[in-house]
Amino acid sequence: MKKLLFTSVIFILLISSAGAQNAILNVSFANTSAKWCRITVPGNTVLQEEYTEIQLNAQGSGSHVFKLTKPAFISLIYRSNDSDTTKPFTYIMYLSPGDNVNFAANFRSRYNGVRVSGKGSKNNQPLLSALAGASAESMYGDTTPARIIAFANKHQADMKAALSKYIKLYKPSDDFIANEGFNIAYDAAYQYYDFKENNKFRIWQSKSYDQNLNKWVSIQDSLFSTIKLNNDKALNAVNYILLIKEFLLREKERLWNYAEKNPEQFYKDWYNSDVETGRKLFTQDKQNLLQEKIINHYFANHTAEYLYTCLFDFAMDKYQGTPDNIVLIYEDFKRQYPNSKYISLYRPSMDAIKLKETNLTADMVFAKDNGTTLNTFDDLLALAKGKTILLDMWGTWCGPCRSEIIANGPAIKAYFKDKGLDYFYVANHDVEHEVEWKQLIGYFNMTGTHILANASLTEDILAKTKSSSYPTYIIIKKDGTYELSKTGYPMNRQVLIKELKDALKN
């Protein structure tokens, strides 16, 4: 039988062990052959959780000890794969310092036979958790907001009714009632906003998107008018945490669009400058510095402090983030929050970034003038004369490009070590990002020849190789001929390796 999957996501702001108490979670699973379960426990930050496997004994039982300084909601998701008909099950728990909660599930019983007992059990009975499984997945692709706003309002109403019933039945603690109240207060806004911002990528190209955009925005504005976006008291509520974290990312995207449509007002509002001056600042860093502006514009106090940790985590995500200016932002953070516990937690990461940013080596070769004077593919091929080369068309702004460099770059270089293969990295649409470009080259240890392409070079390479996307891989042979790799995206590494082996034979 397949293993049991058991995952929990924890949103905890006070994670320092100072003054913390133990909260014990005991788990027991019946009618499954699983030997382990997985939970997420507080790691170095609120978002970078540390995953721990709990080995289950012969009876399917195990336990974990949390160190808490304050109560915390935990979203606990488990799945038994003993049969194809078993579906994942989500259970919301609320652990407090000093709790000793027993959670049991029987996969042959109705509703998975969940039973909760022990100290803290009055805050963890099944009634409220049953609502966690509601999903708007089937509505993705809707071009009008009618169904999702109805869903969001009903979900919030159901939560209110369930809490009222729960209080009468189980008489939970006052702090549970208060925090669950915040969770409900932000539920409709989060459900709608999360759907709207993810759904837009599915309907972006349709005519109805522009036609109905005002309807989507109007409902969002109406929902946001009923809540406080900056609310330190709600920082223990999962829906509030999810909402402001997503707001930080999506407001950045909205401002990108605003900068294109109304540059004069955008640069006046957000950079206190004219268009020419503001655009120079904006194009140098559209990610981290802009998000810091968003934090300081909309948020303050503990909520802003929390969102800085989100910004740090986003920036240090090796697949989608960029470390550009993050050390400077960290220094700003220290000045604003000199007593923050997060200062010491992030210091090792920031020190590591400082080292990586300056870690350019002799194996990282830059074409003359950084390659900005190369205007055609033939100009580039002249640099490659007599060599077999893997050419990677990428960009500092391209998340998939960085993902592939991390996932496949070291393995390919290890495979072809001392076999005569050279590497060209052509950065596209990055002429204004030279500092960030060199930072990422050192950060990702991209040994090879580097070219900062101007618009003419990019267009010529794409036209001659009949490519239109990034990343693009081109194989250049010693005789100057070339071909577009068939490796695709995500990269099929074995296909690319075979192509490169064949090229080296010629």
Highest mean pLDDT pick, 31-45, 66-80, 87-101, 428-442: 428-442
Contacts of 53 (CB under 8 A, 6+ apart): 36, 37, 38
pLDDT given for residue 320 in this prediction: 73
Q: Is the predicted pLDDT of residue 488 greater than 60, yes or no? A: yes
Give the residue-averaged pLDDT of 431-444.
84
pLDDT given for residue 173 in this prediction: 95
pLDDT tens readout for residues 188-228: 999 999 999 999 988 887 888 888 999 999 999 999 999 99
pLDDT band per the 50, 70, 90 thresholds, residue 47: very low
Q: Say how many Å lie between the first and final Cα of the chain, rounded.
A: 50
CATH class of the 5-121 domain in this structure: mainly beta
Distances (CA, A) of 168 to 93, 102, 125, 177, 339: 18, 22, 12, 12, 42
pLDDT given for residue 358 in this prediction: 60
Which letter does DSSP use for residue 493 in this model? H
* DSSP element (H, E) containing 181: helix 174-185
**pTM of the predicted model as reported, rounded to 2 decimal places:** 0.69
Handedness of CA 121, 122, 123, 128 (dihedral sign): positive
Q: Which residue did the predictor score with more confidence, 412 or 108? A: 412
Q: Is the predicted pLDDT of residue 452 greater than 60, yes or no? A: yes
pLDDT band per the 50, 70, 90 thresholds, residue 19: low
Give the residue-averaged pLDDT of 393-403.
86
376, 369 contact by CB (below 8 A): no
Handedness of CA 286, 291, 296, 298 (dihedral sign): positive
pLDDT given for residue 39 in this prediction: 63
Q: Is the predicted pLDDT of residue 347 greater than 80, yes or no? A: yes
pLDDT given for residue 2 in this prediction: 31
Instruction: Name residue 50's beta-bridge partners.
Output: 41
Q: Which residue did the predictor score with more confidence, 312 or 127? A: 312
Any idea where the domains of the chain sit in the sequence?
Answer: 5-121, 138-357, 364-505
Give the residue-averaged pLDDT of 316-323.
77
493, 473 contact by CB (below 8 A): no
Range in 38-42, 382-386, 471-475 the model is least confident about: 38-42
Q: Parallel, antiparallel, or unpaired: how do β-strands 21-30 and 100-106 relate?
A: parallel
pLDDT given for residue 80 in this prediction: 53
Q: Is the predicted pLDDT of residue 29 greater than 50, yes or no? A: yes
Q: Is the predicted pLDDT of residue 352 greater than 60, yes or no? A: yes
Q: How far apart are CA 11 and CA 326, in angstroms?
A: 23
Residue with tokens 């030997």: 35
pLDDT tens readout for residues 238-284: 889 989 999 999 999 999 999 999 999 999 999 888 898 888 888 87
pLDDT given for residue 130 in this prediction: 62
pLDDT given for residue 83 in this prediction: 46
pLDDT given for residue 142 in this prediction: 93
Q: Which residue did the predictor score with more confidence, 489 or 16? A: 489
Q: Is the predicted pLDDT of residue 422 greater than 50, yes or no? A: yes
Q: Which residue did the predictor score with more confidence, 483 or 316? A: 483
Contacts of 154 (CB under 8 A, 6+ apart): none
pLDDT given for residue 257 in this prediction: 92
pLDDT given for residue 356 in this prediction: 63
Q: How far apart are CA 163 and CA 177, in angstroms?
A: 8
Instruction: Name residue 13's beta-bridge partners.
Output: none
pLDDT tens readout for residues 59-86: 888 888 888 888 887 777 665 554 434 4
Q: Write the CATH number of the domain with boundaries 364-505.
A: 3.40.30.10
Q: Is the predicted pLDDT of residue 477 greater than 60, yes or no? A: yes
* DSSP element (H, E) containing 292: helix 288-298
Polymer length in residues for the chain: 506
Give the residue-averaged pLDDT of 157-181.
94
Please count the CA atoms within 13 angstroms of the CA of 451 that sit on its side-chain side: 26
Instruction: Report the mean per-residue pLDDT for the chain.
Output: 85
